[in-house]
Structure 1
Amino acid sequence: MDLLEDKFEEIKEEALDRLKEIIKIPTENPPGLNYQKIVDKLDEILRDLGYKTEIFNPSEEELKRLVRFGEGDRPNLVGYIGNGGTKIAFNGHYDVVPAGSGWNVSPYSAVVKDGKLYGRGSADMKSGIIAGIYGVELLKRAKSFPSNLQVIQTFVPDEETVGNVNAGAHYLVEKGVLKRGKVDYVIFTEPTGSDNICYGHRGAIWAIVKIYGKKSHGGLPQLGVDAVKVSMKIIQELYNSVPEIVSKYNIIPEVSKRPSVLVGTVRCGSWMNTVADYCELSIVRRLIPEENLDEVRSKIINVIEKVTMDFKAKYDYDEFYSVETITSDVKNEIYEVMRRKIREVRQREPGLVLSPGTFDMRFTVKEGIPSINYGPGRIEQAHATDEYVEIKDFFDSIKVLSLTLLELSKTIK
């Protein structure tokens, strides 16, 4: 550790500067802004550090199948370093959710204040991307990069807009880049905290519900079928339908041990003096491991059917994303190695946790690749106004990842 610690002092400001550079590129999704710009920057960084790189860009026909929200190209950057038979992939998504208003700092200025780096994507998850790069670079600078190791950096779009398929990690699985037998482990660097090892995530259903009523004059609302009133009743019943149960699993933060539903958007009507004949609702239902996906879906649809029938309205239910709770095998040796390295760097016992939100780990777990998540940001900062990452957490994560790679290369035959 002493040799790595000495070299870390030499690279830490370089790593922080690289993180600031990519935070300053607004890669908001939807719609998918500046994707090529950030891929060009990350490609430049990897090439400067000695990687061979390749870009996987879905065709127009493939994009029609893979992308529901947004438009434009969806480039995936893959970088290779080392020629060993032990192959470990890092994965990070470069897209971020829209910054929105209300920030006390400019969301894309990468401001450092009181030991924190502020900016959209600082926690979720551009700090994770750079931590993965510099975890490898630390070994190289210390002349400790194992001869039996190959590291594959994979930087992908469209994690934030989810989907049963997407143009990012799913696409790399399809193309055989992240494939069982070709990759020994995948390390994700999503923001679940520098003291935690994450082995999966809760389940989820994302759906769009369209309510069809009947127009009438605002002075004669009794003659119409009010899609707003129908929607209000559906929303109330959906929120009431969530069971009051608490998971036995260690889901972080604590509030995420309960299932939840969110009606995130409501779009209704065409004019204030006309009864709305159309409303569109977006629903996100989060499942704890004790729940069953089919049962939860049935309950949602039953609520919608009953309310629309009572009001003599009609509906369409468009579920474009659903996933059961995903868990990786924590008995795999990568988990024990990383536990030891977190203890060594952070001087505390790491937590073994599930993430409250879904992420691209679902694709590699389903592919059968041993997968783990360890990232510097805190999940409470993801998507938040004035999002930040603690600089010490960012630095410590680089050390943990570097030491994990070093020890794994010694244990895998």
Structure 2
Amino acid sequence: MTQPDVQHLKQTTLPADALALLKRLIATPSFSREEGQTARHIEAFFQEKEILFERLKNNVWAKNRCFDPAKLTLLLNSHHDTVKPNPSWTLNPFEPLVRDEKLFGLGSNDAGGCLVSLLSTFAWFYDRPDMGYNIVMAATAEEEISGRDGLELLLPELPPISFAIVGEPTEMELAIAEKGLLVLDCTAHGVSGHAARNEGENAIYKAIQDINWLTTYQFPKVSPTLGAIKLSVTIINAGTQHNVVPDTCTFTIDVRVTEQYTLEEVIETIQANIQSDVKPRSIRLKPSSIPADHPIVQAGLALGRHTYGSPTTSDQAVLNCPSLKCGPGHSGRSHSADEFIYLREITEGITGYIQMLEQVL
């Protein structure tokens, strides 16, 4: 079989099919845990391309036709759930509107453009018998809420993954590292008493001491791509009435963790230095990275792309393999009112993915 030439991409129906699918996805509400209808649109895309697929809940996935268990496997992944539209939208978020070479609609940028570009890329390589890797394509659910019924649920069903490309809007630049997320619920304990008398121990004051430590402490190891670990106290609650010294004060810490520390090490450090009880909500969302000399990164660099560290969290957090975050669109448009993606970015996304993979597969 003749190896396809990426220059012939525009002579195929792939860019037009990708745009048509993206419009259908936009027109179909798919909030996290409610992605059943968009999963059907993705199934229909596979059926149109005569691609065999499987579905687990709202996750739809497929293996390349010439899948060989003896070969290593590359995972292509992006999500089809969205956040809810914020009140600042001036357009109908579920009406795919093309204006000024832009496609407007909820999920167009995050991460619809990435998803349809990866699906098209998978379709391009699906029948190739001469690849050095297998390819698995997974269109998954619940990414926006870090849910357990998305990629995390699907992973045990997939073959072992050697490395992954996770589609998120990066302007096709190469996010070779991503911070993990750790949410800590903390409780400072005091003793209740009457505010008019010298009674009790004010739990708010104890919490303030702990928060002061959190605002000044710096973890000594700094990531060359992601920088320092970032600690932010984002919620605090205490007290029931003005004349009672509160005996408890709860606060929440948002911790963005780099690859320099495990989540367990971060928890241990914080617990050792504050008085409050510390309870992690989960230790699932780990920092992730891929070596700068990995072939897929080198392929991107050869195309003029640049590497960087991403402060945001994606489905990379549940992967246990090297992973690269890369996709069309701009991260700053994600979750914004009147979200859009440029039409050219979809074709550029398909082209960029194919060009990178041609050097690796």
TM interval, short-chain normalised: 0.7 to 0.9
Question: Are the counterparts in 2 of residues 88 and 151 from structure 1 also a CA contact under 8 Å?
Answer: yes
Whether 2:22 is the aligned partner of 1:19: answer yes
**Number of matched pairs:** 351
Is 2:266 aligned against 1:296? yes
Cα distance, 1:130 vs structure 2: 0.8
2:256 to 274, 278, 286: 286
Q: 1:323–1:42: structure 2 CA closer, same or farther, 3 Å change rule?
A: closer
Residue number among 185, 188, 193 corresponding to 2:166 in the alignment = 188
Q: In structure 2, how many angstroms separate the alpha carbons of the residues matched to 1:126 and 1:167? A: 19
Letter in 1 for 2:41: K
**Partner of residue 172, structure 1:** 154
Question: RMSD of the TM alignment (CA)?
Answer: 3.6
Distance in 1, Cα, partners of 2:86 & 2:216 = 29
How far apart, CA to CA, are the structure 2 residues paired with 1:54 and 1:230? 53
TM-score (norm 2): 0.79
For the residue of structure 2 that corresponds to 1:301, the secondary structure is helix
Determine whether 1:128 maps to 2:131. Answer: no
* Paired amino acid for 2:350: I
Inter-partner Cα distance in structure 1 for 2:278 and 2:229: 24
- Per-residue deviation at 1:129? 1.0
Tell me the TM-score normalised to structure 1 length: 0.70
Change (3 A) 1:230 1:20: farther
* Residue pairs, 1:6-85, within 5 angstroms: 6-7=11-12, 10-29=13-32, 32=33, 34-57=34-57, 75-85=58-68
Aligned counterpart, 1:68: none
Quote the residue 2:136 is aligned against.
152
User: Following TM superposition, by how much is the alpha carbon of 1:232 offset from its aligned partner in structure 2, in angstroms?
Assistant: 5.2
In structure 2, distance between residues paired with 1:223 and 1:110: 63
Q: For each residue in 1:263-294, what CA deviation from the matched residue of structure 2 results, as whole angstroms up to 9, or x when unmatched?
A: 34445555677665555433221134455655
**Aligned position for 2:224:** 248
- Could you tell me whether the CA contact under 8 Å between 1:207 and 1:321 is conserved in 2? no
Distance 2:236 2:83 in 1: 19
**CA–CA distance in structure 2, aligned partners of residues 151 and 295 of structure 1:** 35
In 2, Cα distance between equivalents of 1:233 and 1:119: 46
- Cα pair 1:55 1:77 within 8 Å, conserved: yes
Check if 1:332 corresponds to 2:304.
no
In structure 1, what is the equivalent of residue 182 of structure 2? 205
What is the CA distance between 1:54 and its match in structure 2?
Answer: 1.4
Identical residues among aligned pairs (%): 20
SS in 1 for 2:293: coil
> Please, which runs of 5 or more residues in structure 2 have no aligned partner?
1-5
> In structure 2, how many angstroms separate the alpha carbons of the residues matched to 1:387 and 1:197?
22
Contact 2:182/2:280 (CA < 8 Å) preserved in 1? no
Question: How much does 1:242 deviate?
Answer: 4.2
Is the 1:97–1:160 contact (alpha carbons within 8 Å) kept by the matching residues of 2?
yes
Q: Given the superposition, is the C-alpha separation of residues 260 and 223 from structure 1 closer, same or farther in structure 2, using an over 3 Å criterion?
A: same
Q: 2: distance between equivalents of 1:355 and 1:147? A: 35
Q: Which amino acid letter does the alignment assign opposite residue 395 of structure 1?
A: T
Supply the AA of the counterpart residue of 1:197. Answer: L
Q: Indicate which of 211, 232, 239 corresponds to 1:262.
A: 232
Following the alignment from structure 1 to structure 2, what is the Cα–Cα distance between the partners of residues 202 and 83? 35
Residues 1:317 and 2:279 aligned together = yes
Sort the Cα spacing of 1:172 and 1:11 in 2 relative to 1 into closer, same or farther, 3 A.
closer
